[in-house]
Amino acid sequence: MIPRLIARDVRRALQGGAWLPVIFFLLVATVVPFAIGPDARLLQRIGGGALWIAALTAALLPIERLVEPDRADGVLDQLSLRGVSGEEIAVAKIVAHWLTFGPPLLVAALPGAALLGLDGAALARTLMTLAIGTPGLAALAVTVASLTAGLRGSAALGGLLLLPLAVPLLIFGAAASGEGQGGALKLEAAVALFILVGAPFASGAALRALRN
């Protein structure tokens, strides 16, 4: 069941709007040097953090299309009619969303890092933190999308909910992208793991509550 759901969500994402967060990510990375100025050393120092802010804002864009279309079109009802639990749907949506969000963002981080003048070592560290952090961001996005589906102004509300929840990831992710030692990286991995474990249950409960 879950592989079918993942395949469907990946297909739908690729057909509509999966490239938007990537473009947005690159846009933010492009805008930073304009705002900060052409000081290469300064840019290099803040580069990892800037890419993280870009990733975080890019994570807000897909929230609207993750759950709401399926709710409005009765797909969630049809699935639960067939005995598919909210948690199963949530797991499938998290995996599918990461597949169309994480890897493209990692690829986009290469030109993004070039724009900010990151050197090889800093780029490698940033890629590592993004690889660890994006599954957590994807899980948060699906959870927030489940919580806000069907509400008026759900997109803005989703942003308000997601950003504070993502702050721990941002702190440790950005810190690990800037330093060589492993402490922040381990903490970031711990936070991402915690979110990944909790999100399917929170999201599943929200999806069940949507039925009434």
Partner 1 sequence: MSSLLRFERVACERGGRMLFERLDLHLGAGEALWVRGPNGAGKSSLLRLAAGLLRPAAGEVEAAPAALADDALALDREQPLASALGWWAALDGGSVSDAQEAYDLSHLAEVPVRMLSTGQARRARLARVLASGAPLWLLDEPVNGLDHDSVARLGRVLQTHRAAGGAIVAASHVSLPGGDWRTLELGV
CA distance 19 to 71: 23
Based on the shown chain and the rule CB under 8 A, indicate whether residue 114 belongs to the binding site for partner 1. no
**String of contacts with partner 1 for each residue 30-69, x by CB under 8 A:** ----------------------------------------
C-beta of 4 vs 186, nearer to partner 1 = 4
**String of contacts with partner 1 for each residue 134-173, x by CB under 8 A:** ----------------------------------------
C-beta of 17 vs 168, nearer to partner 1 = 17
**Nearest-approach distance from CB 204 to partner 1, in angstroms:** 16
Q: How many CB atoms lie within 10 A of CB 116?
A: 26
Instruction: Measure CA 126 to chain center.
Output: 15
Angle between the N-to-C axes of helices 40-60 and 154-165, in degrees from 0 to 180, rounded to the nearest 10: 130
CA distance 163 to 195: 14
Instruction: Find the binding residues for partner 1 in span 65-94 (CB under 8 A).
Output: 72-75, 77-78, 80-82
C-beta of 77 vs 119, nearer to partner 1 = 77
Contact between residue 109 and residue 23 where contact means Cβ atoms under 8 Å apart: no
Task: Look at the chain and count its residues.
Answer: 212
Q: Applying CB under 8 A, which part among 10-18, 58-66, 104-112, 170-178 lies near partner 1?
A: 10-18
- Closest to 206 (Cα-Cα) out of 111, 82, 106, 67: 67
C-beta of 90 vs 175, nearer to partner 1 = 90
**Nearest-approach distance from CB 77 to partner 1, in angstroms:** 6
For the record, the structure tokens of 85 come out as 């639990």
CA distance 202 to 24: 28
CA distance 19 to 112: 15
Q: Applying CB under 8 A, which part among 9-17, 27-35, 178-186, 192-200 lies near partner 1?
A: 9-17
Cα angle value 167/177/96 (rounded, 5°): 60
Q: Applying CB under 8 A, which part among 1-9, 86-94, 137-145, 153-161 lies near partner 1?
A: 1-9
Based on the shown chain and the rule CB under 8 A, indicate whether residue 211 belongs to the binding site for partner 1. yes
CA distance 143 to 34: 34
List residues binding partner 1 (CB under 8 A). Answer: 1, 4, 8, 12, 15-16, 72-75, 77-78, 80-82, 211-212
